[in-house]
Structure 1
Amino acid sequence: MVFYISLILIGLFVLWGVFYPEHLSATANATFEFTISTFGWFYLLVTLGFLIFSLYIAFSKYGTIRLGDDDDEPEYSNISWFAMLFSAGMGIGLVFWGVAEPLSHYLVPPEGALGGTAQAARLAMRYSFFHWGLHPWAIYSVISLALAYFKFRKGYRGLISATFTPLLGDRVNGPIGKGIDILAILATVFGVATSLGLGTLQIGGGLNHLFHIPNVVWTQIIIIAAVTVLYLISATAGLDKGIKTISNINLLIAVGLMLFVLMTGPTSFIFDTFTSTLGGYLQNVVQMSLRLSPFTESTWIGTWTLFYWSWWIAWAPFVGMFIARVSKGRTIREFILGVLIIPSAFGFVWFSVFGATGLKLEIFDGAHLAEAVQRDVTSALFIMLEQLPLGTIIAGLATILIITFFVTSADSATFVLGMLSSKGALNPSAKVKLIWGVLQSTIAVVLLLSGGLNGLQTASIVAALPFALIMVFMCFSIQKALNDDYKQIRKKEKERLKKLEALLLREP
C-alpha cells in the first residue's frame, strides 16, 4: 500500500509539473510564502530542540546502550563509516555552497549589517558554519538513532512508523503508521530531488566553465539522464560494492581538493578565519538558533536559515535511514557524538578553506567573485579555483567530485526509498530501487523546469513541514523506549549481583 500510494502521489506531481509548470511554480511559491511566514518560528524551535535532545541523550544514563545486542561490534570501520555519513549527508551541498554561500552573505549579510564590509565578511563565515554545523547533524542524529535503536536493539521493522511503537502500539501497522511512512517517502523524494537539482546545476556550471557548454535546462536534463544511468548501476551493485566504494572515493577526492586549496591558497588567512569564526559561532549559536525578524521586512532568514532547516528535515528520513543502516553495533554515546561532531568539524574546515579563500580573493585581490555569484551562483567555485595554480585541472577534479557525490546521494536515496516502501527490508529488490531511481531524477527535472534553484528550495521547505512534527513525537517515543530499556538493564544487573552475592555467601 505504501509503495503504490507514494507512486501515485509522486506520479501526479510529475504530471502536474510536465503539463502545467507555470501553475506548479505559482502554487509552490504561494505555499512557500505561507509556510515561511506562518511556521518559521516552528522550524527554528524544533531544530534547536533536536540539538539539545541529541546532546542530552548522548551524555545521559542511556549513552552506554548499544545499537544492537550487547555483544555486537560495529559493522564498518570508523573511516568507512564517516565517509558514508559525509557523502550521504551533505556532500553535494558543501561543494555547491562552499564558495558561493559566504560570498552571497558578504554581499547581502544578515542582522542588518552593511554589505561589502569586514562585519559582513565575519557574519558570512559565521552563518555558513551555523547552516552546515551541529544543527543539521542533530536532525540526522535524532531520526537515525530512533531507526537504529528500534531496528537493531528491539528487532522492529526498519520503517519510520516502527519508531512510534512505544506511543502507538499495534496502531503503527494500521492507517496511522502507513500515513507516517508515506509522508517520510514524500519528504525524502523532494529533499533528495533538491540536492540532485543543485548537483546538476553545479555540474552544468563546471562544464560551462571548462568547455563553454551552455548551462541551460536541456543541458541539465542531459546531465541528469547520464548520471541517473551511473547511479542505477551503482544501486544494483549493493551497499558494500556500490555505495561504500564510491563514498570512500568521494572522501579521498574531497580531502585532496581541500588540502590543495589550503596549501596553494592563503593558508595563514584560512587558519585565522577558521579560529575567529569558530569562536564567533560557539559564542552566538543560541542567538542565531532563535533569530527571526518580526519587526523588519527582511526575507534573508526565509531564503537561507529556514530553507536549510527544512532541507535537512526533508533529507532526514533518507539520511537517517542510511546512517542507521551502517551504524549497527555502536553505543548511543559513540553514535551521537560521531554523527554530531566529526561531520560538523569537517564542514567547518571545508567552509574555512573554500569560503575564506573566496573572500580573500574578493576583498583583497580584486577577483570580483561576488559579481560572478550574482550572475551565476554555480560559477563561484570554478572561478575561485582558476585563481590558484593548476586551476583548470583542479576545476575538472571538482566537477568529477560533484558527479561522484551525485551518484552516492542518489544511490543511497534509491536504497532507502526501497527500504521504506518494502516493509523495511534491509536489502530491497533491484526492481524497486530502479523505479525510485528514475522517479527521483524525474522530479529533479520537473523542479528545474518549473523554477530552477527557487523551485528546488520551495519544494524542500513545503515537504518538510509535516515531517518536522513527526520528528517531535519521535523524540518522545525514543525517550520512553530508552527509559524502559534502562530499567530492564538495571533489573538484570541487580539480579546478577544478587546471584553473585549468594554464591559468595555459600563459600566457606
Structure 2
Amino acid sequence: MSNNNEINSRKNAGGLYRLGDPVVLGLTVGFIVVFVALSLVDLDGMSDAIAAGFGWTARTLGAFFQLLLLLTFFVSIGVAVAPAGRARIGNRRTPEMSTFKWLSIIMCTLLAGGGVFFAAGEPVHHYLMTPPNFSATPNGSAAAIPEALAQSFMHWGFLAWTILGALTSLVLAHAHYVKGLPLQPRTLLYPVLGEIVMKRWLGGVIDSLCVIAVVAGTVGPIGFLATQVSFGLHELIGVSPGFSTQLIILIALGAIYVTSAMTGIDRGIQWLSSFNVFLALTVAGVIFIFGPTLFLTNSWFQSFGQYLSSFFEMATVTTITAPESWLKWWTVFFFAWFIGYGPLMAIFVARISNGRTIRQTILSIAVMAPIATTIWFTLLGGSGIFYQMHGVIDLTEALKNFQFDVATLSIARALPGGDLMALAVLLLTTIFVATTGDSMSYAIAVVSTGHDDPHALVRAFWGIAMAVMAGILLYMGSGQIAVLQQFIVLTAIPISLVLLPSLWTGPQAACAMAREQGIIPSLSEAEHD
C-alpha cells in the first residue's frame, strides 16, 4: 500500500519528517504568527471577529456538539459491555505500565488545570446564580447546592471525558498497531475516506487543524495559570502581580513541562503525573478530614443523584430555554473545548494503553475518571459553597465578573491549613497545567513527525512555541488569552467532523480487534454458522 510505504520512509529516514511534516509545521506555526500579528495590528477588530464567530457557533452548532458528546458516551458504553470489550489494544498481552501510573497519566492529562481552576469557582458560581435548568430555585439557597454541583458535573463529567478518547483511541489503535498507519488525526478518517486522506496535503491540513485546536486550548490554560499564580503569590507573600512575575512563572512552567516532554512517557510524563496524583490525594484528604466532612459527603450523594436525574435535561439545554450568553460561556464552551482536544488526546490514550483491554480503557475514561472528577469538584467547590453560606468568604462580585483566580485563592485560603493550603493548591494547579503541556507537546510532535517516539527536540520545539505564544499574548494583556479561548469554539467545527465517524468506526475497530484475537467469531465463521 502506498501509505505504508510513506510511513516506512518516515520511520527510516532522517530527513524533513524528523523535524515534522512541512504542511503541519507551516500551517500551525503560521497560525501562531498570524494570530499574534493580527493581535498587534488590529486588536479590537480581531477580537470582534472572533467574538462574532464564537456567538454564531454557539447559537448554530451548540446542539450538534451536545448530540455528538451524548452519542459518543452511549456508543462507548455499549462497546465496553459487549464481548468485544475483552479484546486488548495494541500488540501486547500485558500492559506496558502499571495501572496506577496509567490512570495517573490519564487523570492529569485529561483533567488538566481546569480541574483546579474551575473546580473551586464553578460550583459556587452556579450556587449564587442558578443555571437555566434550575432557574426556579432561589439563588444562594440550600436547594441550589445539589443543582449547582450537578451542573458542574455535567460540564466535567461523563460526556466531557468520553469525547477525549473512548472511541477515537480504538480507531487509532487498530489502524496503528494492526495496519501500521501513523498515530495522526488523519488516520481517524482512513476507514471512511481511504487512501486519499493519507496523502500529504489533505492529511496535513486535517492534522494541522487538530494541532491548532490543541495549541489554542493549551496556550489558554498556560496563560491563565501565569495570571492566577502571580495573583496568588501577590496575595500570599506580596510579590508584584505584573507581567515580570507572570513571565518568570511562565518560564518556570515551560521548563517543567518541556523537560518532562523531552524525557518521554516512561520518565518525565509518568513521574510528573504520579507526583501530581499523590499531591491531589493529599490535598483531597486534608479537605475531607479537616473540612466540613458531613456537608461534603451529603452534598456529593445528593448532587450526583441530581446529576443523574437531570442528565438529559442539562445535556440538551438550548437557546430555547437558556440565554445565549449563558449557553455559549458554559455548556457549549466546555463541550467545544473538549472536542478540540479530542483527536490528540485519543493519540495519547492509544499510545499509553498498549496492552489494556478495550473495556478497561473505555470504563476508565468514560466512568471512573468522571466519578473521580465529581468527587474532586465537590471537595473544592462544595467547600467553597459551605464557606460562602456561612459568611467566611463572599465571592458574589468576583464570580459575576468571572474572576476565577480570586475565587480559587479565596476558597483555598478558607480551607484547613489556610495560606499553606493555598500554596499547595497553586502548586497543584501548576503541575496539572504542566502535565497537559508535556503530553500535548509529545502528542503534537507525534502528529507532526508520524513517529511514536518523536525526537526530543521536536517535543521541545512545540512546548516552547506554546509558552512563547502565551507570553506574547500576556504582554499584550490577559484579554488576548480570553480571545484565544473563544477561538477554541471555532476550532471545534472542523474537529467535530473528524470525530463524528468514530461513532461507527470505533465499534468496527473494536470488533475487528476482537475477531483478530479470537474473542468473537470471524465474519466467515459467523456466516458458516
* TM-score, normalised with respect to structure 2: 0.88
Q: Deviations over 1:59-92 (max 9, x none)?
A: 22321221123x5211111110111001111131
Residue 117 of structure 1 aligns to a residue in which SS? coil
Q: Partner of 2:501 in structure 1?
A: 473
Q: Deviations over 1:258-286 (max 9, x none)?
A: 11111111000000000000111111111
Matched, 1:411 2:438: yes
Change (3 A) 1:57 1:15: same
Whole-angstrom CA distance in 2 between matches of 1:218 and 1:464: 33
Q: CA deviation at 1:485?
A: 5.0
- Given candidates 167, 181, 187, the residue that maps to 2:192 is 167
Structure-to-structure mapping, 1:318-337, within 5 angstroms: 318-337=344-363
Tell me if the contact between 1:166 and 1:481 (Cα under 8 Å) persists in the aligned partners: no
Whole-angstrom CA distance in 2 between matches of 1:447 and 1:93: 19
Q: Partner of 1:505 in structure 2?
A: none
Whole-angstrom CA distance in 2 between matches of 1:491 and 1:110: 49
Q: Partner of 1:208 in structure 2?
A: 234
Amino acid at match of 1:121: I
Q: Partner of 1:49 in structure 2?
A: 71
Amino acid at match of 1:170: E
Q: Deviations over 1:208-259 (max 9, x none)?
A: 2212334445543332233212222222222222110111000000110111
Q: Partner of 1:289 in structure 2?
A: 315
Matched, 1:457 2:478: no
Q: Partner of 2:464 in structure 1?
A: 438
Structure-to-structure mapping, 1:238-277, within 5 angstroms: 238-277=264-303
Q: Partner of 1:230 in structure 2?
A: 256
Residue 158 of structure 1 aligns to a residue in which SS? coil
Change (3 A) 1:391 1:172: same
Coordinate RMSD, CA, aligned:
2.4
Matched, 1:315 2:315: no
Q: Partner of 1:504 in structure 2?
A: none
Structure-to-structure mapping, 1:10-409, within 5 angstroms: 10-69=32-91, 72-111=93-132, 112-113=135-136, 114-140=138-164, 141-174=166-199, 175-294=201-320, 297-374=323-400, 376-409=403-436
Residue 148 of structure 2 aligns to a residue in which SS? helix
Q: Partner of 1:502 in structure 2?
A: none
Q: CA deviation at 1:322?
A: 1.5
Amino acid at match of 1:46: L
Whole-angstrom CA distance in 2 between matches of 1:302 and 1:334: 34
* TM-score, normalised with respect to structure 1: 0.91
Amino acid at match of 1:41: A
Q: CA deviation at 1:445?
A: 3.6
Residue 349 of structure 1 aligns to a residue in which SS? helix
Change (3 A) 1:187 1:230: same
Which 5+ residue runs of structure 2 have no aligned equivalent? Answer: 1-22
Q: CA deviation at 1:354?
A: 1.1
Amino acid at match of 1:31: G
Percentage of pairs with the same residue: 29
Q: CA deviation at 1:344?
A: 0.8
Residue 118 of structure 1 aligns to a residue in which SS? coil
Change (3 A) 1:180 1:228: same
Amino acid at match of 1:52: F
Whole-angstrom CA distance in 2 between matches of 1:269 and 1:65: 42
Q: Quick check: 358-367 or 269-278, which moved more? A: 358-367
Q: Partner of 1:421 in structure 2?
A: 448
Q: Partner of 2:7 in structure 1?
A: none
Q: Deviations over 1:421-473 (max 9, x none)?
A: 002x1111122122211221233345543625632430211112210121002
Change (3 A) 1:494 1:421: closer
Change (3 A) 1:484 1:251: closer
Tell me if the contact between 2:217 and 2:340 (Cα under 8 Å) persists in the aligned partners: yes
Amino acid at match of 2:112: G
Change (3 A) 1:294 1:454: farther
Q: CA deviation at 1:383?
A: 1.8
Whole-angstrom CA distance in 1 between matches of 2:119 and 2:423: 16
Which 5+ residue runs of structure 1 have no aligned equivalent? Answer: 499-508
Q: Deviations over 1:323-377 (max 9, x none)?
A: 2211001111111011112211111111111111111111124422334444632
Whole-angstrom CA distance in 2 between matches of 1:414 and 1:447: 19
Amino acid at match of 1:416: A
Say how many residue pairs are matched. Answer: 495
Q: Partner of 2:20 in structure 1?
A: none
Whole-angstrom CA distance in 2 between matches of 1:399 and 1:433: 26
Whole-angstrom CA distance in 2 between matches of 1:214 and 1:144: 44
Q: Quick check: 232-241 or 183-192, which moved more? A: 232-241
Q: Deviations over 1:402-423 (max 9, x none)?
A: 2222222111111111001002
Change (3 A) 1:246 1:482: closer
Whole-angstrom CA distance in 2 between matches of 1:477 and 1:296: 34
Change (3 A) 1:493 1:77: farther
Q: CA deviation at 1:148?
A: 2.4
Change (3 A) 1:297 1:334: closer
Amino acid at match of 1:133: G
Amino acid at match of 1:80: K
Change (3 A) 1:385 1:186: closer
Change (3 A) 1:252 1:413: same
Amino acid at match of 1:132: W
Residue 163 of structure 2 aligns to a residue in which SS? helix
Change (3 A) 1:410 1:485: closer
